[in-house]
Structure 1
């Protein structure tokens, strides 16, 4: 949790640092911190030191995540941007699919410490390659001071939002702690907006939010990830509790969307480079809605081929949506605001994922509790659990339909390298 909170809370700050000091410098520093944090995690003798090392690792990951996407947006011409983002998504999908398998192998034969140690040589190699091949002046460094107060406020606001969201299922949404944190998050967000409007060198360039494509693209991105993350969170419970599938088989099934997402990403990116983002976003969001509806029809007798086909369809739908959506968002920002634009996008995506897990998880849990009511001695049978899953996935389908409507509002541009944001 410490890693995730730091990652989510600092991506905006790292993006802004990249705008101020240069992308390459922050990118290399991010890999250095991530490698150092990984080494410290593997060496940590206590839980406290492990958590501290994960914080260091999270700072590095925030810099890498925010800057990598910004560099793609500004280094490549607009007609290559979608393809590059699709390739990047393919690489991430391979990591997602292979990570659990590789992690299990490493843990079994080498010990858990090596899960962290293997990151060190990878990080060092990335630093060497970045020094060798990345230009030092991708975007000229800007004048201005770093908004430290804004960075602290956004970190605090996100921490007090995401931590109770992640714990709400277990603590209860009406618990005093959860309500206090959510109220504090809202107050901090208001203070942040007031501070940013008054700051001479704000952390967040508020003019970003006057660009329709930037706002619409980020809203669609956050909502589609909300539905996808909630879906992926619920599927293992459906497989194990309703279908009685073994843990090993569940792992293989969950790799299916990642494989098809990996295949669809570059195709979608290339298509969006040539024909634009709008049509592909509309179609893929509609496909996501269909997939969520199909999930809502699953029960204890759904055929295995149907399950695999629906999982593949989910991966294709997300794979077709993400590259054009990212290209739209990053292409709507000026090069000088690329780091902040990337930071905003990734912060909203991470927040959407956690909100999706909380929302769909809570809906499904409510259905489980209703099924278990009156059953004091025996646990509810699989068929009694199905309605909770079905309602949750219907909500996911509704969220995807909202994304379809939002995507209809997208206005195609000439996809030039310089975006729409007016200079300050």
Structure 2
């Protein structure tokens, strides 16, 4: 049933005299998707050089990455909702400007603390870019091309991840570590100029609706997500007293958030909204699949180096195959989604991830590099297919005044999956190897850890596939009750 937009939150309008070419629109949205992912992977490559430049330990310098991820994870839902209220174009432009300025400050930072702060600010800008670029698809792109554009944005994210290590290594070798940040400044300025030119002017909420932003709920959600993210990262793959205390704080924060939202006049999230089966299933499967894909990044280097005895150069080359395949698969996967439907392609994507995980859980080391890289390629291509179809399914029929919020929730579920995968699946891998120091573990122990970790990964994604199949069956059984199947789906109104 179609929900009426709250007063003052009407969809952002495109002036009849200003309809930019779709190519310019897609270029602007693509840059806003590429830059945040590039800023993650390119900074990882620079950590050793940054540590040397500032005389810092690894534990200190890793906050250059953690601060960025924390800012994105904790802010992405709030900025998505704020964009729905204050105007998505306005907030996206602000986010790009903040991102670009912070990127410049990162390149000029005189010490590690200021670099870390600048990275957190950069992450805040990146949160706006990630949430709102996807939200713009619903209003800037014809509905029949939604899947293709979602696939394109997935491709650009993968390109950023793939390009980061090689570009960063080249810049560090030729210019120095500051160049890995400074190279993003002209790209940020280009994204800003294209967004100004290509995206339609937006209208912000007026009257009573202008004060509908749930500040208390947003603060509580931010605190809860910060505690969870720190619990998953602060002690690496181990869970000591500090991590347990942070998890307890996250649980308490979640309880307070639920209570606050149930009493708020204009809540950030509502229980009826989360009971929407398409949204709930999409968020759950996104988190599960992201957890498993992070497993390939955590387990892969150890398996390749210890079990298959590859040198670092070959390890990097094999690991680059995943993002490269994802970049090549995104657009075709989006077109397939438009042609065959979201539900079918979600099932295909999840099945491929499960199949690749099962093969990796059984593949003997005697199969060599091919025995690892072929299932990895299948998993990554399937992941790109799932992402394009799942994002389209969740976003396609969302009410206009909720696109920023739901886009932020999708990005949040993926980030939480990545964070959980790095920590929990890393702990599973360490436990399965049977040693406290994986770097010195025997090759057969590492192979055993790889097999058991990917077996657990297959079970996780199978859970998500079961939920999708149940939803599909329920949709078929209840289809004769839907009189307006194309109406906007979700609502946050009390």
- TM bucket (normalised to shorter chain) is over 0.9
In 2, Cα distance between equivalents of 1:396 and 1:21: 40
Which of 151, 163, 172 is 1:86 aligned to? 151
Any idea what SS the aligned residue of 2:434 has?
helix
Cα 1:29/1:338, change in 2 over 3 Å: same
Which of 84, 102, 111 is 1:46 aligned to? 111
Q: Is the 8 A contact 2:365 2:447 kept in 1?
A: yes
In 2, Cα distance between equivalents of 1:322 and 1:239: 27
Aligned to 1:218: 283
Aligned to 2:10: none
Segment of structure 1 superposing worse, 207-216 or 98-107: 207-216
Aligned to 1:152: 219
Any idea what SS the aligned residue of 1:200 has?
coil
Segment of structure 1 superposing worse, 35-44 or 355-364: 355-364
In 1, Cα distance between equivalents of 2:321 and 2:391: 23
Q: Is the 8 A contact 1:230 1:358 kept in 2?
A: no
Which of 120, 140, 143 is 1:55 aligned to? 120
In 2, Cα distance between equivalents of 1:360 and 1:59: 27
Q: Is the 8 A contact 1:9 1:154 kept in 2?
A: yes
Aligned to 2:453: 392
Tell me, yes or no, if structure 1 residue 350 matches structure 2 residue 415: yes
Which of 356, 368, 371 is 1:306 aligned to? 371
In 1, Cα distance between equivalents of 2:346 and 2:387: 8
Any idea what SS the aligned residue of 2:210 has?
coil
Aligned to 2:232: 165
Q: CA RMSD in A?
A: 2.2
Q: Deviations over 1:215-249 (max 9, x none)?
A: 11111111111111122221011111111211111
Tell me, yes or no, if structure 1 residue 133 matches structure 2 residue 198: yes
In 1, Cα distance between equivalents of 2:304 and 2:105: 36
Matches within 5 A, 1:182-221: 182-221=247-286
Q: Deviations over 1:272-319 (max 9, x none)?
A: 223211111112211111100111124432233333322221221111
In 2, Cα distance between equivalents of 1:231 and 1:384: 17
Aligned to 1:3: 68
Matches within 5 A, 1:281-300: 281-300=346-365
Q: Deviations over 1:174-220 (max 9, x none)?
A: x2211110000000011111112211222235442131111111111
In 2, Cα distance between equivalents of 1:92 and 1:372: 33
Cα 1:379/1:309, change in 2 over 3 Å: closer
Residue 401 of structure 1: how far off its partner (Å):
1.0
In 2, Cα distance between equivalents of 1:61 and 1:218: 20
Q: Deviations over 1:306-365 (max 9, x none)?
A: 333222212211111110100111124211111110111111110011111222211110
In 2, Cα distance between equivalents of 1:21 and 1:200: 18
Cα 1:385/1:146, change in 2 over 3 Å: same
Tell me, yes or no, if structure 1 residue 368 matches structure 2 residue 429: no
Any idea what SS the aligned residue of 1:143 has?
helix
Residue 419 of structure 1: how far off its partner (Å):
2.8
Aligned to 2:488: 418
Aligned to 1:315: 380
Q: Is the 8 A contact 1:162 1:354 kept in 2?
A: yes
In 1, Cα distance between equivalents of 2:258 and 2:320: 40
Residue 78 of structure 1: how far off its partner (Å):
2.2
Any idea what SS the aligned residue of 1:112 has?
coil
Q: Is the 8 A contact 1:11 1:63 kept in 2?
A: yes
In 2, Cα distance between equivalents of 1:421 and 1:331: 14
In 2, Cα distance between equivalents of 1:206 and 1:52: 35
5+ residue gaps, structure 1: none
Tell me, yes or no, if structure 1 residue 242 matches structure 2 residue 303: no
Aligned to 1:120: 185
Which of 60, 77, 83 is 1:18 aligned to? 83
Any idea what SS the aligned residue of 2:447 has?
helix
Aligned to 2:32: none
In 1, Cα distance between equivalents of 2:204 and 2:283: 23
Segment of structure 1 superposing worse, 126-135 or 203-212: 203-212
In 2, Cα distance between equivalents of 1:397 and 1:407: 15
In 2, Cα distance between equivalents of 1:70 and 1:379: 46
In 2, Cα distance between equivalents of 1:368 and 1:250: 20
In 2, Cα distance between equivalents of 1:403 and 1:231: 18
In 2, Cα distance between equivalents of 1:139 and 1:265: 33
Q: Deviations over 1:142-180 (max 9, x none)?
A: 53332222222111101110111123445x32x221111
Cα 1:348/1:370, change in 2 over 3 Å: same
Aligned length: 418
Q: Deviations over 1:382-417 (max 9, x none)?
A: 112211111111000111111211221144888747
Tell me, yes or no, if structure 1 residue 406 matches structure 2 residue 467: yes
Cα 1:138/1:246, change in 2 over 3 Å: farther
Aligned to 2:39: none
